[in-house]
Amino acid sequence: MNSYPNALQGLVEHLMKLPGVGRKTAARLAFHMVRMPAEAAADLAAAIIEVKRRLSLCSFCQNLTEHDPCPICRDGARVSGQLCVVEYPADVASIENSGAFKGRYFVLHGLLAPMQGLGPDDLRLERLRQIVVEQNITEVVVATNPTVEGNATALFLSRFLRPLGVHLSRPACGLPVGADLEYMDPVTIRKSLDGRGPF
């Protein structure tokens, strides 16, 4: 049943295509937009058009950028020889914010999912292999998330890259800062104990 005016219903349906946005959230956002001043609404629409017009993928790391190569790939102060493989551009931003990694990145834009037809070509793994060889990469940190698909993709990558003689590593899994053992799931507790270190 469509009880909204057509224009509003159309907006709700577009918003529902966004990740994590269901019908109720889409309706709430749409009503908010209806109440926005016309100028703010035009700015929002223009910002969406602008990112589509200005952003492309860096030909090296595949991250989103306004200039190819991107600022990280161009930055001569980065540690050469280290490459961190992540699922999405947002992961690069998170790791950069942590300041814990000084090498360069490779963004997969997804994970291997054979059931959904997502194979090595979709993740541009040939480009990854090329970069590892051409840029004399010696260490690859496979920082896909510790989910079933993330772990499966990491395993595939380790087999894919091992013949190139690079050192492969995976970020440690464990207790989040501020966590309470009482409320942790058994897998997280086991992983954190497996990866325990001296203090």
Instruction: Give least dist CB 127 to Zn ion, A.
Output: 11
What's the helix, strand, coil split of the chain in %, to 5?
A: 50, 10, 40
Is the dihedral angle over the CA atoms 19, 128, 86, 49 positive or is it negative? Answer: negative
Binding residue for Zn ion, selected from 26, 27, 64, 73, defined by CB under 5 A: 73
Close Cβ partners of 30 (under 8 Å, ≥ 6 residues apart)? 8, 11, 12, 15
Binding residue for Zn ion, selected from 15, 58, 92, 131, defined by CB under 5 A: 58
Distance, CA of 43 to CA of 41 (rounded, Å) = 5
Instruction: Give least dist CB 73 to Zn ion, A.
Output: 3
Residue 61 touching Zn ion (CB under 5 A): yes
Please identify, using beta-carbon distances, which residue of 26 and 84 lies nearer to Zn ion.
84
What backbone phi and psi angles, to 5 degrees, belong to 179? -75, 155
Residue 137 touching Zn ion (CB under 5 A): no
Instruction: Give least dist CB 162 to Zn ion, A.
Output: 24
Site string for Zn ion, 18-57 (x = CB under 5 A): ----------------------------------------
- Asked if 88 contacts 145 with a C-beta cutoff of 8 angstroms, the reply is no
Question: Which range binds Zn ion by CB under 5 A, 20-28, 72-80, 107-115, 130-138?
Answer: 72-80
Question: Which range binds Zn ion by CB under 5 A, 67-75, 81-89, 125-133, 175-183?
Answer: 67-75
SS3 140: strand
Residue 86 touching Zn ion (CB under 5 A): no
Q: Where are the beta strands (DSSP E) in the chain?
A: 56-57, 64-65, 82-86, 104-107, 139-142, 167-169
- Asked if 65 contacts 56 with a C-beta cutoff of 8 angstroms, the reply is yes
Binding residue for Zn ion, selected from 11, 26, 30, 60, defined by CB under 5 A: 60
Question: Which residues contact Zn ion (rule: CB under 5 A)?
Answer: 58, 60-61, 69-70, 73
